[in-house]
């Protein structure tokens, strides 16, 4: 089992380039089932992406990954497609459920493993199935699989989501692609990753318009030509490195290959805490940590503060003056990083769904264990500011979603190595 060893309190400086978004790439890979040929650029080379590519290969698509250019070429033309997403591939990468919408709308049937829960929650898919049933899909659950079919194809429908779900919105968008007639989705998730998926589907010939939290999908004129798409940057990775530079920057740290407008709410919160951020068109400069002050945060669907940044913000708040609170409103069990941070000296208590953080506290290095993707990166941040050495176990969680993490940090003079 690999580990990360971090020597804390090393000042960092220089430049960090942000990779493509894992959470934009995954639904776009699922959407590539709908294309004859697609070239997808700026994809992050992380475990979840490789698992999704394995799934596309299993289904029968032809994929060519050009690693050194972060490009993948995919073709579904003339392939005999197996409309099955097996448990072995979906259990480790829940977003595998997103092939359900694509397979159903294009091949009128699909057998997809229920993804099951993960460390942060039970992760149900009832909203995904609710939307597909509204479009006429016949759905049965048997032996841990979703058996879906739509003999005469899916039909457009008016669908109001009872609660906001990124994955369910994405599955409904994919299913609506070849549905007969118009589909109107309301109370949708509108994360930037969903906007990127809409851009990709419109390149494929879809006619999708977003208005507030409503999405209108009219009948698509499917293009058969090869399409090309560059995935947006990873706004969660960006938030993670802004926090790292606030905590450790010797002077300024430049972060590039981004569009600062997309993370307005994160930047607003960081500025409220006292982080100095200078925004340029495609980059930002984070000034050395200043007098930081406490704040109360609640995680919300976009454009609110993302739940995927909650653990990282918590580490920052252990270093600010005063008592801060973070309410986790999206997932039922997303505080697993707290016991590990406490072992490093953080003063955090949990009451219901709220973490109460007392700062500033000196963190000391310890041997800790990663539990889920974003919690594991919060331990890296803690290790970078803690005294002495921190050893992080189970870093396969990190490898699911952060491209070249040690390399990017070492490039900024952090002392971090993998053994
Ligand atoms: C996506 O997960 C992201 N994953 C998550 O990032 C992210 O934390 C989450 O959206 C929220 O922003 C990908 O994009 C691959 P949801 P998703 O459906 O789609 C409940 C990471 O670290 N719900 O918006 O699964 C659900 O339990 C990952 O990169 C239902 O009840 O999230 C949760 O409480 C972690 N029924 C809430 O809705 C459903 O059918 C939001 O979940 C679906 C979801």
- Residue-level pLDDT, tens digit, the chain, 419 residues: 899 999 999 888 899 999 999 999 999 999 999 999 999 999 999 999 999 999 999 999 999 999 999 999 999 987 789 999 999 999 989 999 999 999 999 999 999 999 977 778 878 999 999 999 999 999 999 999 999 999 999 999 999 999 999 999 999 999 999 999 999 999 999 999 999 999 999 999 999 999 999 999 998 888 778 899 999 999 999 999 999 988 887 778 999 999 988 888 889 989 999 999 999 999 999 987 678 999 999 999 999 999 999 999 999 999 999 999 999 999 988 999 999 999 999 999 999 999 999 999 999 999 999 988 898 999 999 999 999 999 999 999 999 999 999 999 999 999 999 99
**Number of domains, the chain:** 2
For residue 289, the model assigns a pLDDT of: 65
Cα–Cα nearest to 338, from 361, 365, 356: 356
Q: Both 376 and 302 in a single domain?
A: yes
The closest-lying atom of ligand 1 relative to the alpha carbon of residue 401 is 29
Say which of 45, 118, 119, 184 is annotated catalytic. 118
Assess whether 347 and 217 both reside in one domain: no
Helices 126-134 and 99-107 cross at an angle (nearest 10°) of 20
| Domain identity same for 139 and 27 | yes
Q: How far apart are the first and last CA of the chain?
A: 9
User: Are residues 132 and 146 in contact, defined by beta-carbon separation less than 8 angstroms?
Assistant: no
CA dist list (Å): 375 to 177, 315, 371? 35, 10, 6
281 is a domain residue: no
Cβ(330) to ligand 1 under 6 A?
Answer: yes
Domain contains 239: no
CA pair distance 108, 174, nearest whole angstrom: 13
Domain at 34, CATH number: 3.65.10.10
- Mutation test of ligand 1: which of 31, 93, 101, 123 has the most ligand atoms closer than 8 Å to its C-beta? 123
Domain assignment present for residue 245? The answer is no
Q: Is residue 266 within 6 Å of ligand 1 at its C-beta?
A: no
How far is the C-alpha of 237 from the C-alpha of 313, rounded, in Å?
Answer: 12
Enter the tokens of residue 244: 């790292």
Q: Is 34 within a domain?
A: yes
Do 88 and 205 have their domain in common?
yes
At residue 337, φ and ψ (nearest 5 deg) are: -75, -20
Check whether residue 325 and residue 204 sit in a common domain: no
Residue at 166 is within a domain: yes
pTM of the prediction? 0.96
Q: Is residue 11 domain-shared with residue 33, that is, in the same domain?
A: no
Q: Decide: 95 in ligand 1 pocket, CB within 6 A.
A: yes
Write out the residue range of the structural domain in which residue 321 sits. 4-18+291-418
- Per the annotation, the verdict on 118 as an active-site residue is yes
DSSP state of 233: B
The CA 165 to ligand 1 mean position distance, Å, reads 6
Q: 221 lies in a domain? A: yes
171 touches ligand 1 (CB under 6 Å): no
Atom of ligand 1 nearest to the CA of 330: 34
Joined tokens for residue 292: 């930081």
**Predicted local distance difference test score (pLDDT) of residue 220:** 80
Final residue belonging to a domain, choices 195, 230, 265: 230
Select from 200, 230, 260 the last residue of a domain: 230
DSSP for 247-305, written as a single string:
HHEEEEEEEES--GGGGHHHHHHHHHHT--EEE-SSEEEEPPP---B--EEEB-STTSB
- Residues 10 and 34 grouped into a single domain: no
Whether residue 45 contacts residue 67, with contact meaning beta carbons closer than 8 Å, is answered with: yes
């Amino acid at each position: 089992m690999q580990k990360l060893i971090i020597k804390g309190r090393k000042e960092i400086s220089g430049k960090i380039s942000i990779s493509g978004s894992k959470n934009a790439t995954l639904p776009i890979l699922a959407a590539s089932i709908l294309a004859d040929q697609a070239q997808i650029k700026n994809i992050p080379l992380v475990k979840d992406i490789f698992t999704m590519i394995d799934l596309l290969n299993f289904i029968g698509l032809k994929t060519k990954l050009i690693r050194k250019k972060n490009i993948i070429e995919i073709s579904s033309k003339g392939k005999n497609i197996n409309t099955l997403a097996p448990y072995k591939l979906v259990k480790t990468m829940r977003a595998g459920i997103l092939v359900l919408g694509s397979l159903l709308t294009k091949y009128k049937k699909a057998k997809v493993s229920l993804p099951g829960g993960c460390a942060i929650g039970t992760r149900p898919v009832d909203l995904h199935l609710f939307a597909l049933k509204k479009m006429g899909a016949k759905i049965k659950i048997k032996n841990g699989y979703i058996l879906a079919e739509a003999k005469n194809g899916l039909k457009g429908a008016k669908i109001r989501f009872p609660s906001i779900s990124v994955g369910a919105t994405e599955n409904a968008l994919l299913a609506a692609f070849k549905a007969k007639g118009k589909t109107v989705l309301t109370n949708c998730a509108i994360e930037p990753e969903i906007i990127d998926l809409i851009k990709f589907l419109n390149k494929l010939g879809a006619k999708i318009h977003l208005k507030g939290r409503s999405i209108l999908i009219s009948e698509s004129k499917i293009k058969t030509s090869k399409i090309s798409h560059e995935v947006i940057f990873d706004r969660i990775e960006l938030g993670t490195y802004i926090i790292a530079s606030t905590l450790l920057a010797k002077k300024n740290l430049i972060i590039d290959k981004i569009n600062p407008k997309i993370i307005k709410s994160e930047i607003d919160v960081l500025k409220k805490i006292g982080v100095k951020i200078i925004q340029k068109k495609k980059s930002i400069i984070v000034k050395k940590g200043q007098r930081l002050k406490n704040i109360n945060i609640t995680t919300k669907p976009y454009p609110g503060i993302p739940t995927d940044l909650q653990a990282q913000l918590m580490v920052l708040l252990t270093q600010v003056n005063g008592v801060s609170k973070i309410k986790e409103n999206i997932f039922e069990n997303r505080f697993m990083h707290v016991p590990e941070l406490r072992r490093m000296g953080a003063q955090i208590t949990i009451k219901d769904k709220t973490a109460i953080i007392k700062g500033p506290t000196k963190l000391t290095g310890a041997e800790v264990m990663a539990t889920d993707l974003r919690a594991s990166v919060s331990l890296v941040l803690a290790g970078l500011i803690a005294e002495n050495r921190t050893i992080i176990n189970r870093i396969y969680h990190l490898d699911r979603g952060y491209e070249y993490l040690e390399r990017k940090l070492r490039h900024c003079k952090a002392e971090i190595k993998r053994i």
